[in-house]
Structures are given as structure tokens and as C-alpha cells.
Structure 1
Amino acid sequence: MQKIFLTFFYSGCMKKAPGTFGTIAALIPAFFILKYLGVQTLFLLSVLIFLVSIRIIDDYEEKSGIHDDKHIVIDEVAGVFLALAICGQSLFTFIFSFIMFRIFDIKKPSIIGKIDKKVKGGLGVMLDDMIAGAFAGLFCAVVYGFLLRFELITWDIKLTDLF
């Protein structure tokens, strides 16, 4: 059960780019949560996953002796949920938030990289992705606001209007 949770239903078990596959897998429930349950639900779920995962990851690391195993992708799930909750309510922002989250998560600029290196255990595994999600969501919101202000995007559609 622990492995199913940490690998987000085995989406993190891919040999190449497990974090990206885990994040893509997270987009499916995120879409339906945003469409039918709302942004608040996705935000609260992100926080809940963050809090619950810390202890589960600590337990896993104690048993396996591996810190931040590449197959653990629940941190990517929580992070992308946060990014999408901040700025992912339209088709453009949904895709853009995903891309920006992956960039921040992979490149680990600024404080994200420092947390990744210095904070150990489940908190370290989860916190860098939550901050990457916050940065991605905020960056997406600023860029989207700019695009709307100067009428540079006119084709976008809200997720609730799809299907």
C-alpha cells in the first residue's frame, strides 16, 4: 500500500523520467477535481498530501535506507496540485502550470535547490516540490495576467467549460 501511494499508483516506476510521468498521472485527477469540485478542494488536497506524505516517506526511508528515491512521485503530485490550484483553471494555465512546475522541479532554482540539499527526510522530499509548485503557480498567474492585460491570448477556455 505504501508503494502504491508513494509511486502514485506506480506511475513513478518508469525507468526514465519517473517524476515527469508521476506529474502527468497527477494531471488526470487534478483536471476532474478542478472541473467538478473546485480550486479549494485541489488546494486542500495538496496540503493534505504534503502533510501525510512526510511521515510515510520517513518510514520508507528508514526501511530502505534511500533518501528521495527517484520512484517516489507523491511529492510531484502535491506540488503540481498546488501549482494548478494557484493558476490552473483554464486550458492554457493548466498546461503552462504543468510545464513551469516541471522546470522549477528539475532546475531547482534559488531556495528550492537549497531545501533539496539541506532538508532531510520526508519534509525535504516534499517541501522542495511544494515550493516549486508555489513558484510555478505564481509565475503562471503573473504571465497569464500580463497576457490578458495586453490581449495577447484570446483563445483560452475555462476547464469548467470543456466537455
Structure 2
Amino acid sequence: MSTKYVLDPADRRRLLASPAGWIACGFGSGLTPKAQGTFGSLAAILPWLLLRDLPLSAWIAVIVAAFGIGVWACDVAGRLLGVADHRSLVWDEFVGQWIALLPALFAPWWAVAAGFILFRVFDVWKPWPIAWFDRRVKGGLGVMLDDVIAGIVAAIALFAILHFIR
């Protein structure tokens, strides 16, 4: 079985053979050898751009559905790998990034870059309460929850930046 950092070829095949694994690894974006979370967050921007014109209510529905799917997919994939929160599981970055970019739906293009940076900072730094949830909640819910909270904090920070710049 793999460690939290190394994904051997057998683990990669097992992950990609499962629909849950395919989703959990962000359609392959989490299979990079390094900076999996960053690549997952970058990959999340493409569907965000494609769906950018959805009304806010539809975005909320997409995020809620993606969160539920992510809890299931990350739980199944974590059990397949034997590591609950393996670095290759980046669906949580997709959902967290989409939350962080909610204020960018109504903002200039640079807000997407700012939202990306803010999300990565909070996801890596894990200030309270993100770290508290990261340590205490396990399984698929634990994988997803800390990134959702990081996304919320990043969205609040981006909203504040946009508010003060206008």
C-alpha cells in the first residue's frame, strides 16, 4: 500500500479503475508526482470557467452535489489506497476552490487568480478552525471538510478584497 506521499503503479491502476477513484483524484489531476493539491486546484478552474455563467443558486447546488459526491468518492478511494487522505485525492481541492471563487463570479478576471492564491494559502497553512477539523474529522467527510472551510475562509477574504478595492 502507498504512503501519504508516494503512489505506486498498482495503486494508480486501482485508483483509476474505480469511478470513485477517478473522481477523487480530480480526473487525474492529483496524479502528478508533486504539488498534487496545487494541480488539483488549477484543474478545478477549468470547469469553474465553463460553468461561470450559472446563476448563484445553481452554483450552490453544484457545490453541494460535488461535496456529497466527494465524501463518497474520497472515502472509497482512501480505502482503496489504504490512506484516508492521500495526496492524490484532490476532489476536495475542486470543491474548496469553487467555494473560494464564488466572489469571483461577479468580479474582474484577476479575482480568479486571487481566489486561487487565497485558497492555496489557507489550504496549506490551515489556520484555526481548518486545522481543528483536519485533525478530528476522518474518512471521506474529513478529506472534504477542511478544504470546504479553507474555501469559505478564502471566499470571505476575496469578498473583502473586492469590497475594499471597489
Residue 142 of structure 1 corresponds to 160
Cα contact 2:24–2:77 (8 A) shared by 1:
no
Q: Aligned-pair RMSD on alpha carbons?
A: 1.3
Q: State percent identity of aligned pairs.
A: 34
1:24 and 2:23 matched: no
| Residue 44 (structure 1) aligned with residue 54 (structure 2) | no
Aligned mates of 1:7, 1:61 — CA distance in 2:
10
1:124-149 deviation digits (Å, cap 9, x = unpaired): 1000000000000011101110111x
Query: In structure 2, the residue corresponding to 1:51 is in which secondary structure?
Result: helix
Q: TM-score scaled to structure 2, two decimals?
A: 0.83
**CA displacement at 1:10 relative to structure 2:** 0.3
Once the two structures are TM-superposed, the CA of residue 52 in structure 1 deviates from its matched residue by: 1.7
Q: Which residue does the alignment assign to 2:96? A: 79
Give me the TM-score of the superposition, normalised by structure 1: 0.84
- Structure 1, unaligned runs of 5 or more: 149-163
The count of residues paired between Structure 1 and Structure 2 equals 146
1:3 matched to 2:21? The reply is yes
Structure 1 residue 88 and structure 2 residue 104: aligned? yes
Q: Is the 1:3–1:10 contact (alpha carbons within 8 Å) kept by the matching residues of 2?
A: no
Task: Provide the residue aligned with 1:158 in structure 2.
Answer: none
Deviations 1:38-70 (A, max 9, x none): 333333212111112212222222333212010
Match of 2:138 in 1: 120
- The answer to whether the 8 Å contact 2:21/2:73 transfers is no
Mapped partners of 2:43, 2:74: distance in 1: 20
